[in-house]
A and B are shown apart, each in its own frame.
Chain A
């Protein structure tokens, strides 16, 4: 095969991944727009409270008053599902932001200065990557009581190492570049170089990792709530799906269907966002 042909292959890949990436981004943004619309207009769509029992005498199929039906205790599924959007986004956005801040504060100096600090960071990440995360989260939630803010803190505390590793790797490949060396030569201080010269390069891969971190946080919170380890005062999809476990045996399929659609759509949208970002920002990767 001639070099020309190889070039055209490379081109096709780059193009193909861009097209794929932008298609993923389009679907993702459309889905997110719908989800956000529901999440923001709850007050206009329903006057029911999400966790209040006794709207109906028992499990009721979807009807005009309760568009998604009610559960065994007469709670309105529609209102709870929509409030679930807020919970999921709240948990994922806050915990991911925290995770990213810690990851940057640790990963930047570790990559930039290297040495002992870097060694310690790598061992800590090794540690967190080699223990079963979900069991650790369960364990910590039991110890610290499952309030929503504790859950967010625990998720962040156990998630930053893998993103810090990404930051570090990116810093390592950036710090030898000419413009960083130039900044050093003209006497900029290390903090300036790290934040204004290196950090911008770290952002693209971090965006992808943060998106994945968001969907991970949504699934973790829902998983905890499903197991009865969530915050009982917060409307979570996980707890709805725990309620569905009994309801589906007496015909209450709606208790399973609606929260499942919303959690899957949200996680799917964010995963597509990560995929799309990855393809667009990193077109060399083979797709």
Chain B
């Protein structure tokens, strides 16, 4: 029975029980990797403090959360993968983008958990971005 419950929990987690960014969906190590990726691929336009730039939106705080509230982490990762960096989109892997988004989540002070955010779109699509209530 114990085994069965454990299995059920695993199935729910993988198959995508609704989660939010408050559930520790990335790890600190992953955010650190993402920071390096951000600095090399994103900071030129979005700024070293993610405050945005001349024609690049901020990736933290009110404006960012206003735009992304209720949307999924998967959507944010996919948009990044398809359209960024704007001067040469499509060259970042889904894993690289996932790490960079982990850094964005960390910068927006969503808590880190014990495991990495996996790059599987189906899992990411079930994680909702929610501002602090």
Q: Do A and B bind each other?
A: no
